Every structure is written in C-alpha cells, then in structure tokens.
Amino acid sequence: MSQAAGTEIKRLAVLGIGLIGGSFALALKRAGRVARVVGFGRSRANLEQARSLAVIDEIAASPEQAVAGADCILLAMPVGAMAETFVRIAPHLAANAVLTDAGSTKQDVIAAARRGLGGRIGQFVPGHPIAGAEKSGAAAAQSGLYDGRNVILTPLPENSTATVAAVADLWRACGARIMEMTAAEHDRIFAAVSHLPHLAAFALVDELAGRPEAEVYFRHAGSGFRDFTRIAASSPEMWRDIAMANREALAAELDAYVSRLLCLRDALLAGDGQTLFDTFIRASRARANWAPGGTNLEDDE
Ligand code: NAD
C-alpha cells in the first residue's frame, strides 16, 4: 500500500467479516478509499451474505488467498483465532502491505503477531475501534459505525512512522478519531470499563435464567434490567476470547468490584442507609459528569 495519506487501497483483505470487519470495509467504500474488498471467514453463508450486501466484492477460499496481493489487511475475527491466522498469512504478505487488527485486547494479539509474523512484525499496527454493538455477522455491518468514535492504536517499536500514519489515515477515512497508548495501558483500562461490565451482565442474566421460575422474573424485568444487561446478548465466543486473553487484569477488576458489592451487602444487612446513600451519590455524580445529559454511546463496546 502506498503510505501517503488519502491514497486508494487497491485490494483490501478483511479476515473475519462480521460487524467490525464488515463496517470497516463499508466505511472505506463510502469514503471512496478502496477499489476491491476480498473477505475470508469461517461461515460460507455469512460470506455470501456479505457479498450480496456489497460489503465485500470477492470471497477468498483461505486467509493465504485473501492476503495474496493485498495492500491492506484487517484481522477482525475473535482474538483467540488471530494467532493461527498470523502464522498462515505471514509468508504471503506483500512487502508493502500494511496490516492491522480490531481485536478488543492488545497484549495477547501483539504476542501472537510477533510469533506468527517474525521479521514482518513492522508491517503490523495493532488497533481497537471503540465502537460496536451486541449484534454479530456481516448483516450487522454499517458504513457509519465508526463516525465520531475513537480508535486506539498501540504502535510497536518496529513500526515506521509512515506505517502507523497509513493505518491512522484509514481509520480517519472511516470517520474515527485516533488515540495512541501502550498495549498494557489499553488492556488495563478496558478490563475495567468494558470487560468487567460484560462479565457482570453475563453473570446476572445467567444467574436469573438458571432459576426454576426464571420466566416470571424476565416477564417483569423493565428498562433498568434491559439497560444493565443489553451487552449480555453479545457474542459468547468473542467475549470468551477477550476474557481469556485479559484474564489477569479482568480478575483484578472483578476483585475490586466484588469487594465494593460486599461493602454494600454489609451496609444493607447492618441497616446502614448512610453508606448506601454516600455510595449512590458519588456514583450518580461521577456518571453524570462522564455523560452529562445522558449518553449516545449505547453502541460502544
Ligand atoms: P462478529 O462475530 O460479528 O464477526 C467475527 C467474524 O469472524 C465472524 O463472521 C466469524 O465467522 C469470523 N471468524 C471466526 N473465526 C475465524 C477465523 N479463524 N478466520 C476467519 N474468520 C473467523 O464479531 P465482531 O463484533 O465483528 O468482532 C470482531 C473482532 O472485533 C473481535 O476481535 C472483537 O474482539 C473486536 N471488536 C468487537 C467489538 C464489538 O463491540 N462487537 C468492538 C471492538 C472490537
């Protein structure tokens, strides 16, 4: 890929044509920045749907075939599937190809990329778009998914300035803003603000669903339950991979959360309404300051 800003990608390979990969392809098409999109994925039916929706132009039979001749490649499958993909595509990457990913965890993906890509690691700029939804698959893809959203890049020492700039430029063409941080910082922060809330939502719904009279509870659940648990409808495979990949940071966040819940439990049993009130007022103020007047971030991961 020519690394000057604003250039057209001749052949974009997207490995994993779901919400995230499909939306990247559509956003670059909308921007007039890509001539041809080739997709590879696990499910033939999903790939055919992607082609019929013009998310991709061509279906590749393998990741090797997808990346051959591609000047830009996005890995957008669950993070647990990336290690094998790096190994398979490494020998087929063009010398000028720029490679990035959309994985929700970064240290594990970078370690897998180092092992799989070897001397080509400099071509890979790790990324994570902070946009998404609990919907999956090519049919969920939308050209405007990244408009006004942040994309975090965690560049590697091996990346040239031009390669990082080329990846940043593509995400900007998708409508996104770019932020940079280290992979360790990324994984620590997202354990707290994304991975823990997903774990909590899955756990709450699973606990209720396991009760003999679950149907009665669900029938009476209202908007509070709906808002708290919306993300429990997310892809189980994707979230298993994220939790496994970031398990130490996630376990530490879980400990902090459980300890706060236990404090509230102690206050409840002691009839200590003041502690409950103080906690709720601090949280309510912090939440209002974070998103004054509510939030339009409901589609964020
Ligand atoms: P998705 O389920 O919509 O799409 C993933 C696609 O990858 C599916 O079509 C699946 O068939 C395919 N796939 C699975 N294994 C594969 C393999 N070995 N090779 C090729 N394709 C394979 O999921 P998504 O929401 O698009 O997430 C994709 C990636 O983006 C994940 O790494 C996820 O962590 C990350 N991400 C997701 C969100 C979100 O909110 N959904 C946000 C930011 C980043």
Can you read off the two tokens belonging to residue 296? 């339009």
- Is the distance from the beta carbon of residue 15 to the nearest atom of ligand 1 less than 6 Å? yes
pLDDT tier, 205 (very low <50, low <70, confident <90, very high otherwise): very high
Can you read off the two tokens belonging to residue 225? 């339950």
Which residues are bridge partners to 178 per DSSP?
151
Query: Where is average pLDDT lowest: 1-5, 32-36, 201-205?
Result: 1-5
Atom of ligand 1 nearest to the CA of 15: 20
Please tell me the distance between residue 20's alpha carbon and the centre of ligand 1 in angstroms. 7
**Cα separation of 96 and 72, whole Å?**
9
Phi, psi of 14 (to 5 degrees): -115, 120
- Name the H helices within 145-272: 161-173, 183-190, 196-209, 214-220, 223-229, 236-245, 247-269
What is the pLDDT, as a whole number, of residue 135?
A: 87
Atom of ligand 1 nearest to the CA of 235: 2
What contacts 126, CB < 8 A, 6 or more positions away?
100, 101, 103, 106, 109, 110, 113, 153, 154, 155, 156, 183
Can you read off the two tokens belonging to residue 84? 């094998």
Question: Within 10 A of 215 (CB to CB), how many other CB atoms are there?
Answer: 10
- Is the distance from the beta carbon of residue 141 to the nearest atom of ligand 1 less than 6 Å? no
Using a pLDDT cut of 70, give the percent of the chain over it.
95
**Cα separation of 20 and 26, whole Å?**
10
Helices H / strands E in the chain, number of each: 13, 9
**Cα separation of 146 and 69, whole Å?**
27
- Is the distance from the beta carbon of residue 38 to the nearest atom of ligand 1 less than 6 Å? no
Question: Which pTM was predicted?
Answer: 0.94
| Closest residue CA from atom 38 of ligand 1 | 132
What is the pLDDT, as a whole number, of residue 133?
A: 80
Amino acid at 16: G
- Is the distance from the beta carbon of residue 46 to the nearest atom of ligand 1 less than 6 Å? yes
Amino acid at 116: G
- Is the distance from the beta carbon of residue 104 to the nearest atom of ligand 1 less than 6 Å? yes
pLDDT tier, 298 (very low <50, low <70, confident <90, very high otherwise): very low
Mean pLDDT of 259-280: 98
Residue 1 predicted with pLDDT over 80 = no
- Is the distance from the beta carbon of residue 83 to the nearest atom of ligand 1 less than 6 Å? no
Please tell me the distance between residue 253's alpha carbon and the centre of ligand 1 in angstroms. 24
Q: Torsion-angle region of residue 242: left (phi > 0), alpha (psi -120 to 50) or beta? A: alpha
Please tell me the distance between residue 212's alpha carbon and the centre of ligand 1 in angstroms. 34
Q: pLDDT digits over 124-154, tens only?
A: 999 999 998 878 999 999 999 999 999 999 9
Please tell me the distance between residue 55's alpha carbon and the centre of ligand 1 in angstroms. 15
Please tell me the distance between residue 236's alpha carbon and the centre of ligand 1 in angstroms. 11
Looking at domain 12-181, its CATH superfamily turns out to be NAD(P)-binding Rossmann-like Domain (3.40.50.720)
Atom of ligand 1 nearest to the CA of 79: 32
Statement: 185-293 belongs to CATH 1.10.3660.10: yes
Mean pLDDT of 38-43: 97
Q: Would you list the domain boundaries of the chain?
A: 12-181, 185-293
pLDDT tier, 34 (very low <50, low <70, confident <90, very high otherwise): very high
- Is the distance from the beta carbon of residue 238 to the nearest atom of ligand 1 less than 6 Å? yes
Q: pLDDT digits over 162-183, tens only?
A: 999 999 999 999 999 999 999 9
Angle at 18 (CA atoms; ends 15, 19), nearest 5 degrees: 130
Can you read off the two tokens belonging to residue 31? 């921007």
What is the pLDDT, as a whole number, of residue 239?
A: 97
